[in-house]
């Protein structure tokens, strides 16, 4: 099969580096363009990353010598070279909105990790196993933009990539109230222990904007397409506290849940075990075989032991038990830069290619 030509916007960042490693040997996608800020533009990828590469493997040889483009000034050239771009940049919200729109208007689909467009009503926010049908809104978005193939599709925040997949399949019982505390790794801030030494032996009880995202974004995932927009659901009712903890990768969540019709523990475990979505049904290259893994051991899942399960694309759950105030409590874990960022975006791109929303033009 001829591969899709892809670009990575924000290639030098924490998420961008994950894209580089995930796409180095991808069966469908071939990285043809790397772009970042004007600080990196014009340098080889290796030079731009001197001292900043934080993946455990080496920079792939075919990528190391590529010249980094300027993400904002080379849009036409990039859009004229690739079939679509992944985007993960650290810029102001209005700048990101303008950047993503400019790529879409240049007829280049944008698969975004950024939060700027997550609440744009005609932009789908997709976890491929849960709401693959939301991609249908892309036709309305293209109509609004006046494009033939350019559009924006986004990933939801990394904090919710464990508890939303755990709760969404239980929808038939009426998921009513959810209280969640997250224990989030430092790579979620684009940092390592070298670049953020204050995090060694420390917990910081504040991550700017994270609690709002953790409470509001699930409602768009639960939402429905009505006319030419996605209307967020009114429930479940989420409340969240998000803490930064001294883990390099992997966001853990402690969850308390109340249902309209309380299922049994056995029913919940059975649903988790059998849950499949579009990626599994269509055998997409980055799909975990078993999306939701339940561990029976009392001390599992653990961030360090389980974050890389199924290439970091699966969700690990455990400790499901009765609660005195809610119906049940449990813990769950997902890898924040794999399932929660680059890996989730690659899976979404595979799905959009499979569904026919992205074609090969170069």
Ligand X SMILES: NC(=O)c1ccc[n+]([C@@H]2O[C@H](COP(=O)([O-])OP(=O)(O)OC[C@H]3O[C@@H](n4cnc5c(N)ncnc54)[C@H](OP(=O)(O)O)[C@@H]3O)[C@@H](O)[C@H]2O)c1
Site residues for ligand X per CB under 6 A = 10-16, 36-37, 39-40, 71-72, 88-91, 113-115, 158, 187-188, 190, 336-337, 340-341
Least distance CB 5 / ligand X (angstroms): 20
Q: Are 87 and 100 in contact (CB under 8 A)?
A: yes
Of 108, 158, 242, 332, the catalytic one is 158
Q: Which residue's CB is nearer to ligand X, number 165 or number 340?
A: 340
Least distance CB 129 / ligand X (angstroms): 17
Residue nearest to ligand X (CB): 13
Least distance CB 34 / ligand X (angstroms): 9
Cα–Cα nearest to 96, from 121, 77, 113, 109: 113
Q: Which residue's CB is nearer to ligand X, number 72 or number 241?
A: 72
Question: How many C-beta neighbours within 10 Å does residue 246 have?
Answer: 16
Q: Which residue's CB is nearer to ligand X, number 104 or number 320?
A: 104
Does the annotation count 332 as an active-site position? no
* Distance, CA of 192 to CA of 176 (rounded, Å): 37
Q: Which residue's CB is nearer to ligand X, number 12 or number 131?
A: 12
Least distance CB 307 / ligand X (angstroms): 12
Instruction: Give bridge partners of residue 80 from the DSSP assignment.
Output: none
Does the annotation count 158 as an active-site position? yes
Cis status of the peptide bond prior to 213, with omega within 30 of 0: no
Of 26, 134, 251, 293, the catalytic one is 251
CA torsion 102→103→107→109, rounded to 10°? -140
Backbone angles phi, psi at 317, to 5 degrees: -130, 160
Q: Which residue's CB is nearer to ligand X, number 190 or number 263?
A: 190
How distant, in Å, are the alpha carbons of 64, 68, 269, 310, 340 from that of 272? Answer: 41, 43, 5, 16, 19
* Distance, CA of 234 to CA of 216 (rounded, Å): 10
Sign of the CA dihedral 179, 131, 307, 328?
positive
The string of DSSP letters for 62-74 reads: HHHTSBPEETTT-
Q: Which residue's CB is nearer to ligand X, number 221 or number 320?
A: 221
How do 229-231 and 224-226 pair as beta strands?
antiparallel
Q: Are 126 and 215 in contact (CB under 8 A)?
A: no
Q: Which residue's CB is nearer to ligand X, number 113 or number 135?
A: 113
Least distance CB 108 / ligand X (angstroms): 15
Q: Is 335 exposed, middle or buried (0-12, 13-18, 19+ CB in 10 A)?
A: buried
Least distance CB 99 / ligand X (angstroms): 7
Least distance CB 283 / ligand X (angstroms): 26
Cis status of the peptide bond prior to 236, with omega within 30 of 0: yes
Place of tokens 């350019």: 150
Cα–Cα nearest to 196, from 58, 19, 54: 54
Catalytic residues: 158, 251
């Amino acid at each position: 099969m001829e591969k899709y030509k892809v670009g990575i916007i924000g290639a030098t960042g924490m998420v961008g580096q994950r894209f580089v490693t995930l796409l180095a040997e991808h069966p469908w996608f071939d990285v043809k363009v790397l772009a970042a800020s004007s600080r990196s533009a014009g340098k080889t990828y290796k030079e731009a990353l001197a001292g900043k590469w934080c993946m455990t493997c080496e920079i792939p040889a075919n990528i190391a010598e590529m010249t980094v483009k300027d993400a904002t000034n080379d849009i036409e050239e990039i859009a004229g070279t690739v079939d679509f771009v992944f985007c993960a940049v650290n810029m102001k919200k209005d700048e990101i909105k303008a950047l993503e729109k400019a790529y879409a208007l240049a007829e280049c689909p944008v698969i975004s990790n950024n939060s700027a467009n997550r609440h744009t009503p005609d932009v789908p926010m997709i976890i491929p196993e849960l709401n693959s049908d939301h991609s249908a809104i892309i036709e309305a978005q293209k109509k609004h933009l006046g494009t033939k193939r350019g559009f924006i599709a986004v990933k939801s925040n990394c904090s919710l990539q464990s508890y939303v997949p755990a709760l969404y399949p239980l929808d038939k019982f009426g998921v009513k109230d959810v209280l969640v505390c997250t224990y989030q790794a430092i790579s979620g801030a684009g940092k390592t222990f070298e670049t953020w030494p204050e995090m060694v032996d420390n917990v910081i009880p504040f991550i700017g904007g994270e609690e709002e995202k953790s409470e509001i974004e699930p409602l768009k995932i639960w939402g429905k397409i009505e006319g030419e927009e996605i209307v967020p659901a009114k429930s479940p009712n989420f409340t969240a506290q998000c803490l930064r903890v001294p883990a390099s990768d992997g966001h853990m969540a402690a969850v308390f849940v109340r249902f309209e019709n309380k299922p049994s523990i056995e029913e919940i475990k059975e649903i988790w075990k059998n849950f499949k979505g579009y990626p599994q049904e269509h055998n997409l290259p980055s799909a975990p075989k078993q999306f939701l893994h339940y561990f029976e051991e009392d001390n599992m899942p653990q961030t360090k032991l389980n974050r890389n399960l199924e290439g970091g694309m699966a969700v690990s759950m455990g400790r499901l038990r009765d609660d005195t105030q809610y119906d049940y409590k449990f813990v769950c874990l997902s890898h924040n830069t794999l399932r929660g960022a680059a890996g989730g975006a690659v899976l979404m791109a595979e799905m959009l290619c499979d569904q026919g929303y992205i074609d090969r033009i170069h």
